[in-house]
Structure 1
Amino acid sequence: MKSVSIVEDSEKDARRLKKYVERYAEELGEIVEIHLHWDGLDFLKSYKLDADLVFLDIEMPLFNGLEVSQKLREIDRDVNIVFVTNMAQYALKGYKVGALDYIVKPVSYFSVADCMRRAFLNAPRRAKKRILLNLSATETVSVAAEDILYVEKHTNTLTFHTTRGVWEMRGTMRDVEAELEGEWFSRCISGCLVNLRFVERTTKNSVFVGGEELPLARQRRKEFINDLMNCVGGR
């Protein structure tokens, strides 16, 4: 399955792009997940490093497409970017962020299809699952799931202990657990999610991760040990 994001403040232009993406996907026999965003800020806040291609309008309020692309490159160096514009000279500046191409409005089906063909041939190869930590309104960190040792929750604050350092952000353990599903994480207590690949040993009431001793709740011990055995066995 491929993923395409369309960042466009004009509903008419966005719907046209979406129709052409769907048409190409049908002709290719490929399942393509399409995400529509009406402004660059909404796109950046919700981006999960999962797109193969981003169609990015240049003339948008608040943040124009060039500004959005620069922020996008800070968190994803590999995603294919195609600028959509009324004036080609603006799009030429986009090559500074390694854009795949640009297309001029009104877009044609063949220009969209050609960009999709090249983007899918050059799809980002992300071997590692990554998540974004929104530390503040102005600071975001991208962390590989396999680099997270464990996550602790205190009131409304989540503390991420990683091989690269420790970061804090506001959030819920439920959201983090959903984000890390399938990445060999298990709760040792209600407020602590452990990367099973870093577990060194367990005792009746403790689990040791990265040289740290963490509590292991009696009611969670059976499920935690079972998850650990599955992780070690690669199941």
Structure 2
Amino acid sequence: MDRLKIVVCDDEIVQQKLMKALLEKYLLENEMQAELKFYPSGQSCLQDSREILDADIFLLDIFMPELNGIDIARELKDLGTNGKIIFITGGNDYITEAFEIHAFSYIQKPVEYEKFAKVMNAVVHCLEKARYIDIIADREKRRVYLADILYVETLGRRLVIYTKDEELETYLSVKNFMDEYGGNEFLQISRYAAVSKSRIQRIVGRSLYLMNGKELLVSEKYLPTTKKLHIEYIHTKKVANV
């Protein structure tokens, strides 16, 4: 893929050197290029936020004084980054918070190359699949990134695309959307609706709840598959523990 931009934030010099060595080894073995930026604290990282919001990958140490990795990730998310966040941690204290902010994964210390490479392979594969959909909405051409979509549903002859900030209508069926763009990122929960896997909070009975609290109904026909794929998706997010 194109040149990556990777940000590392860790307050320990030894750990920074280790991450640099691991990244250089991975990039060399996979014949990839990347711009690497290192920060010794959360404050210095956020002070440079305008320069790093477009980064593809953030490797953040969780345990740092004043601003920890979770604080940094939340701030970066609020500022609008679409980069994948990977936490480096010596414990399990903040795992729940990591998933609440949609962290891509986490790596337990001591960081070994095999484990590191596995997570990097997963995140690079995810980045390669990052795509967008060009639609005509309100007679204007619009580009919607799949990562921004919460769910889609058909109303009459139109497909309504729901993002965090807006609702867009276009002429497309859920089946065509799934065939063309669904890939491994969306779950079809009925004949008329599909949901982003990363936006699902929980499934209770036939009720599917999104992270923003929105409740959707899963049809009886799609319920077994929806539950199965949701569980599988959760497990894939724990790849760094394997």
TM-score by length of 1: 0.51
The aligned residue for residue 42 of structure 1 is: 44
Output aligned runs, 1:175-190, within 5 Å: none
Match of 2:65 among 50, 61, 67: 61
5+ residue gaps in structure 2? Answer: 133-242
The aligned residue for residue 117 of structure 1 is: 121
Query: 1: distance between equivalents of 2:80 and 2:25?
Result: 27
Pair 1:70 & 2:74 matched? yes
The aligned residue for residue 26 of structure 2 is: 24
Higher CA-based Rg: 1
Secondary structure of the residue that 1:102 maps to in structure 2?
strand
Secondary structure of the residue that 1:9 maps to in structure 2?
coil
Output aligned runs, 1:64-103, within 5 Å: 64-103=68-107
5+ residue gaps in structure 1? Answer: 128-235
The amino acid of 2:28's aligned partner reads E
Match of 1:106 among 94, 103, 110: 110
- Post-superposition offset of 1:76: 2.8
Query: 2: distance between equivalents of 1:71 and 1:65?
Result: 10
Match of 1:2 among 4, 7, 11: 4
Closer/same/farther in 2, CA of residues 126 and 10 from structure 1, 3 Å limit: farther
In the alignment of these two chains, the number of paired residues is 127
Conserved? CA contact 2:54–2:81, under 8 Å:
no
RMSD in angstroms over aligned alpha carbons? 1.8
- Post-superposition offset of 1:50: 2.2
Q: How big is each residue's C-alpha offset from its partner over 1:3-59, in whole Å with a ceiling of 9 and x where there is no partner?
A: 111100011111111110110000000011111100111111213322111110111
Secondary structure of the residue that 1:123 maps to in structure 2?
helix
- Post-superposition offset of 1:61: 1.0
Deviates more, 1:17-26 or 1:82-91: 82-91
- Post-superposition offset of 1:62: 1.5
Conserved? CA contact 2:86–2:107, under 8 Å:
yes
Q: How big is each residue's C-alpha offset from its partner over 1:155-208, in whole Å with a ceiling of 9 and x where there is no partner?
A: xxxxxxxxxxxxxxxxxxxxxxxxxxxxxxxxxxxxxxxxxxxxxxxxxxxxxx
Closer/same/farther in 2, CA of residues 106 and 94 from structure 1, 3 Å limit: same
The aligned residue for residue 227 of structure 1 is: none
Secondary structure of the residue that 1:3 maps to in structure 2?
strand
TM-score by length of 2: 0.49
Query: 1: distance between equivalents of 2:131 and 2:46?
Result: 19
Secondary structure of the residue that 2:20 maps to in structure 1?
helix
Query: 2: distance between equivalents of 1:38 and 1:76?
Result: 22
- Post-superposition offset of 1:122: 2.0
Secondary structure of the residue that 2:21 maps to in structure 1?
helix
- Post-superposition offset of 1:106: 1.0
The aligned residue for residue 165 of structure 2 is: none
Conserved? CA contact 2:54–2:82, under 8 Å:
no
- Post-superposition offset of 1:112: 1.6
Alignment identity in percent?
Answer: 27
